[in-house]
Amino acid sequence: MASEVVQRFYAAAQAGDGATIVALLHPDFRAHTAPGMPCGAGGTFHAPQEALTQVWGAVFADYDTAPYDETWHQTTEGIIVVTGHYRGTARITGRAYEAEFVHLWQVTDGQISWLHQYTDTARWHQALAPAAG
């Protein structure tokens, strides 16, 4: 079932398990992440290894963070819509943050083939910013 594959993605992300994340991704995986993401992690990415390196790897280098799913919906076209919050801390400042997200997922042949991410990128940047004063 498609939603079980996506649930395994969230569990792997929360465990920091990059190998499982890559195994869940279809060879033709495509991701579109919020353009304002820090660490150069915003944009369009193709293939599992590129997404792991340029999105999740880049983010995990600067943040101790994970996505926590809260609501799940499925469209008549089979798109899985998940809302929730990223929670964590920026490694350089130690500042905690929480940023709302919406993820759109597509599963093909038992693997995740597409992700479109929307998130409050300002919250991410605020956690990285030096303290005022």
The tens digit of pLDDT for each residue in 70-87 reads 999 999 999 999 999 999
Binned at pLDDT 50, 70 and 90, residue 130 comes out as confident
**Domain annotation covers residue 9:** yes
**Domain annotation covers residue 76:** yes
The tens digit of pLDDT for each residue in 36-95 reads 999 999 999 999 999 999 999 999 999 999 999 999 999 999 999 999 999 999 999 999
Q: Going by C-beta distance under 8 Å and a sequence separation of 6 or more, which residues neighbour residue 82?
A: 6, 10, 69, 70, 71, 72, 73, 102, 103, 105
**Domain annotation covers residue 40:** yes
pTM for the whole structure: 0.94
Q: How many domains does the chain have?
A: 1
Rounded mean pLDDT, 97-102: 98
**Domain annotation covers residue 65:** yes
**Domain annotation covers residue 30:** yes
pLDDT in the model for residue 133: 62
Is the Cβ–Cβ distance between 41 and 117 less than 8 Å?
Answer: no
What is the extent of the structural domain holding 10? 2-128
Among the listed residues 11, 29, 31, the one whose alpha carbon sits nearest the alpha carbon of residue 104: 31
**Domain annotation covers residue 133:** no
Look at residue 99 and tell me whether its pLDDT is greater than 80: yes
User: In CATH, what number is assigned to the domain containing residue 54?
Assistant: 3.10.450.50
